[in-house]
Amino acid sequence: MHKKINEDMDDIDEDDEVIIFLDEIIRYRMIPRRTNWRYRYLALNQQEVAAVSSIQLSISELTDFFLVLVLLVNQLLTVLHSSTRRNADQNVPLRQQMAPVIRFYSRLLAFCYLRLDNLILEEQELVGITRGEWEAAVAREADTPPRNRSIEALSEGDAHRLTRFRKEQLQVLMVHWRIPAQVVTARNRYVFTGEEMLIVCLTRLATGWSWTQLSKDVFGGNPRRWSPLFHWFVDFLFVNFYHKISGRSIEMWLDQLDEFKQAILNRLAQPAHPIEQELFNLDGHPERAQYVLHCDPEHWRIFGFLDDTNVRSCPLGSGPVGPGEGAGRPRRAMAYEIQRAFYRLVLIIYCFVIISIFCCLTITFFLLF
């Protein structure tokens, strides 16, 4: 019986050791541009960066305040000890007056220590990566085998979904674009097949997905190899075909302008998309999804739109919101309020430190005199 209990206790101890081993923090999360491309999903987002900055600033200010309190208490104890050694009988009232002061500062030191410990734990929970999380991330981001890199390997549905072309159209593009059978990038000397280059680059243009997402979900392999290939593809088309469209990029579409105009009018006369309706409902303005425009084609002069590049910005609280990824999402409402709240917090922390030191000195003065 005792032997079985001891064996069960040994199993529990081994499980605890495994949990402690996996919960050990071995890495720390950084901002995206300082994070390896494979593990960028682990990087801190804008709100987390603001939270970490606020916590670190609080830790710094609280540490300074803690050191000031330690020096102040040490000085008070030194003065009291030296006065007591000179004449113990005459300094009894002084010791009685100093006792509540020392107790007050001792409790304040204990409070600061506990608050500092909580801030450090909060920072570690926010930026720390445990051994278990890191091992799961390494297993998740391992290179997958190549796939979907030839026209024959694509199904008809995947070809149209990824490249916006059918398989026979891709074969025609291979001929008319004079795509070589083998491509070697100039800088890195990576070797690709012509079909591989065409499919990958057209998918990048059609979907706008990142190279990491394309490698992970569609093509496999190392995503760092695609960027030089895409540059080679753009340069190849520019050198061979730019002279055919130079100076007549609008003229080429004159025959289709009426079709473009009618397509825009048809879209404006339709109700809002379900994604737009959801965003308007979340913003508290569902009536904006009911706007429907009916325009006279004879007086309509707009035939196209300019789609700007959706680039993430660095200010706190900025950036697009909404489900999914890509362009078309609205900016975060009242983003400037988030920035104002962050910098107001910095000012409040500085004011808190100054007021705390002033209050400590004032309390000491009234208790002593």
Tens of pLDDT, residue by residue over 106-115, are: 888 888 888 8
In this model, does residue 320 exceed pLDDT 70?
A: no
Between 61 and 369, the more confident residue is: 61
Centroid of chain to Cα 203: 25
Could you give the residue ranges of the DSSP H alpha helices within 289-334?
Answer: none
Q: With cut-offs at 50, 70 and 90, classify the pLDDT of residue 327.
A: very low
Residue 220 CA: distances (Å) to CA of 137, 142, 200, 211, 225: 17, 10, 11, 10, 11
Which residues does residue 183 pair with via DSSP β-bridges, in sequence order? 192
Residue 172: pLDDT over 90: yes
Report whether 127 contacts 28 (CB < 8 A): yes
Query: Is residue 341 pLDDT above 70, yes or no?
Result: no
Of the listed ranges 8-12, 117-121, 177-181, the one predicted with least confidence = 8-12
Among 58-72, 292-306, 308-322, which range has the highest average pLDDT?
58-72
DSSP string, 224-270: GGHHHHHHHHHHHHHHHHHHHHTT-TTGGGGGGHHHHHHHHHHHHTS
Does residue 34 have a pLDDT over 80?
Answer: no
pLDDT of residue 198: 93
Tokens coding 160: 């149209």
The reported pLDDT for the residue numbered 193 is 92
Average pLDDT (282-307) is: 72
Q: 200-254: per-residue pLDDT in tens?
A: 999 999 888 888 888 888 888 888 888 899 999 999 998 888 877 777 777 788 8
Rg (CA), the chain: 33
Say how many CA atoms lie within 13 Å of 355 toward its Cβ.
6
pLDDT at 322 over 70: no
Closest by alpha carbon to 180, among 166, 165, 163, 192? 192
Q: Which of 19-28, 40-49, 50-59, 323-332 has the highest mean pLDDT?
A: 50-59
Confidence at residue 283, expressed as pLDDT on a 0 to 100 scale = 77
**Cβ neighbours of 234 (radius 10 Å):** 12
Q: What percent of the chain has pLDDT over 70?
A: 69
Greater pLDDT, 213 or 87: 213
Tell me what the mean pLDDT of segment 359-364 comes to: 65
pLDDT at 286: 78
pLDDT for residue 174 is more than 90: yes
| pLDDT (tens digit per residue) in 48-64 | 888 888 888 888 888 88
% of the chain with per-residue pLDDT over 90: 13
Position 347 confidence tier, pLDDT thresholds 50, 70, 90: low
Question: In 3D, which of 293, 305, 300, 307 has the Cα closest to residue 258?
Answer: 300
pLDDT of residue 296: 78
In the predicted structure, residue 304 carries a pLDDT above the cut 80:
no
- At 257, list the tokens: 């302008």
Specify whether the CB–CB gap between 232 and 185 falls below 8 A: yes
pTM exceeds 0.85: no
Over residues 272-294, the mean pLDDT reads 74
pLDDT value of position 12: 41
